[in-house]
Chains A and B, each alone.
Chain A
Amino acid sequence: DQQVKQNSPSLSVQEGRISILNCDYTNSMFDYFLWYKKYPAEGPTFLISISSIKDKNEDGRFTVFLNKSAKHLSLHIVPSQPGDSAVYFCAATRSGGYQKVTFGIGTKLQVIP
């Protein structure tokens, strides 16, 4: 039972253009969402998050949008840079004390110079 789904295994984007990575979730109890970035041979690193009380959170070139009714979120990277080439994991959890974090399978982004 995959509660967090990233349906695009890979994405290629030209440098300078926008990258849009999508994520869907099925568990309506999730109220906190995170994006992690992972380079080969390294562990995931936290990128950006959003609480369900918001529909948008921005940090520099990275913006996450949340559509609660559709149970969908997306990560926008603009402008995309070659150093953004990595695997991006969407993750979801419930806030407040300890709750497990559930990860998607990841989307491999390649930014072409």
Chain B
Amino acid sequence: NAGVMQNPRHLVRRRGQEARLRCSPMKGHSHVYWYRQLPEEGLKFMVYLQKENIIDESGMPKERFSAEFPKEGPSILRIQQVVRGDSAAYFCASSPGGEPLEQYFGPGTRLTVT
């Protein structure tokens, strides 16, 4: 039973480019959470999605960031016009239900903006 998959593991983008981060939840999990870890900081909640629905996006920056979890395929976190401050590790977690107590994390995508 494969765990949570994230790709790419490392992503380098120049300022102004777009970054797309993908997350495939564990089999049977329909709830996905995205977190960001900035250097020297803890994990910060960004967004919680179920299939085709955004449930809680209170942690998402208002501009340039968006997330989706389509009926088919992985969840995507999209960052438009990246800036240096977006450089961070982005973690995805999934759970079988809406209880975040059962979250399983992926290995993360490390985004570097040059």
Contacts and interface: CB of A to CB of B under 8 A. Distances in A.
B43 to A, nearest CB: 4
Interface size classification for chain A: 20 to 34
Contact of B91 (A32, A34, A43, A46): A43
B108 A105 contact: no
Interface stretch (A59-67, A68-76, A78-86, A92-100): A92-100
A80 B62 CA distance: 44
Contact of B41 (A32, A45, A100, A105): A105
A49 interface: yes
Interface string A24-52: 00000000101010000111111001000
Interface in B36-77: 40-45, 48, 55-56, 58-59
B101 A98 contact: no
A37 to B, nearest CB: 11
Contacts of A4: 42
Contacts of B42: 4, 6, 89, 103-106
Given A98-B56, A100-B45, A100-B56, A43 B105 contact: yes
Interface of A: 4, 6, 32, 34, 36, 41-46, 49, 89, 93, 95, 97-106
